[in-house]
Amino acid sequence: MLGSFCHAVRQILNLIVSKFCDRIILMKFFFLIMALSLLFSGNAHSITTSLICKLEKSNNTFSIFLDHQNKNATWDDMVVSADFSATSVTFIVAQVGSIDNVHLKMHYSLNRINLEVVKTVTLTRTINTDKIDEVISLERGVCEIGKKIERKF
């Protein structure tokens, strides 16, 4: 009789311990799910910055849209790849191929701190193995933040 009583108590204790362990495992599982969801949470949409820029020599304004997630810039309805750093964004908007080893390139550089924009047109010549870069035109200007853009699909 004492053996069956001990056996019954042991089964009850095993049941309590297993339920307790199941709850701990379940709580750990839920905690892991919450921690992973917080760790990998973020915006599901692309962050886009709209800039309205004006160069000093011209009175015309133009828009530049920066897509931070995809590392793109949109200028004059043309999407080009951009190099993003902590202080600047640079992108090439036009590049003419080799004509007698001469390359023509127009690119923009945006200062992310003071929103200064610099438009540069560069002529690159290759003589023998030497590359010679010559700045043909350099214009400075200022940008301001445009309206917030939300892209919904």
Question: Secondary structure of the chain: what % helix, strand, coil (to 5)?
Answer: 25, 50, 25
What's residue 2's pLDDT?
A: 56
Which of 50, 52, 49, 72 lies closest to 60, judged by CA?
52
Q: Quote the CA–CA distance of 90 and 95 in Å, as a whole number.
A: 14
d(CA 124, CA 105): 8
Q: What pLDDT was estimated at residue 79?
A: 93
**pLDDT tens by residue, 11-51:** 765 656 566 556 666 566 566 666 656 666 654 455 888 99
pLDDT given at position 153: 47
What average pLDDT does the segment 135-150 reach? Answer: 84
The stretch 52-80 carries a mean pLDDT of 90
- Integer Cα distance of 142 and 108 in angstroms: 12
HSE toward the beta carbon, residue 49, CA cutoff 13 A: 16
- pTM of the full predicted structure? 0.62
Q: CA-to-CA distance for 43 and 114, rounded, in angstroms?
A: 26
pLDDT in tens, 86-132: 999 999 998 887 777 788 899 999 999 999 999 999 988 877 777 78
Distance CA 131, CA 135 (A): 13
